[in-house]
Amino acid sequence: MEKPIAINLKDAEEISKISNKNKRVLMVTAHMKYHPKLQEFIKRKKEFGKITKIKINVLSNIFQYMNNDWIFNKKKSGGGTIMDDGINVFDCLLKILGNKEKIKIKEVKINYKDDKGENLEVETEGKINFTFGRNSQGEVNLSWIKNYEEINLELKTKKGVYKINFKDSKEFGDFIYLEYLGVYKNFLKRIKENKFFDDEEVKSLKIVKEIYHLNKDTNI
Residue 220 has pLDDT above 60, yes or no: no
CATH of domain 9-214: 3.30.360.10
Domain ranges in the chain are 9-214
The candidate with the shortest Cα–Cα distance to 156, out of 206, 99, 96, 73, is 96
Number of H helices, E strands in the chain: 8, 6
pTM of the model: 0.91
The whole-number pLDDT of residue 199 equals: 81
Give the list of residues 6+ apart from residue 97 with CB closer than 8 angstroms, or none.
Answer: 51, 103, 132, 133
Phi, psi of 104 (to 5 degrees): -120, 115
pLDDT in tens, 40-70: 999 999 999 999 999 999 999 999 888 778 9
State how beta strands 104-111 and 160-165 pair. Answer: unpaired
136-143 and 51-61 beta bridge pairing: parallel
pLDDT above 70 as % of the chain = 95
pLDDT, tens only, 176-197: 888 999 999 999 999 999 888 8
Distance CA 184, CA 187 (A): 5
Give 131's strand partners: 104, 137
Identify the DSSP state of 34: G
Instruction: For the chain, state the CA radius of gyration.
Output: 17
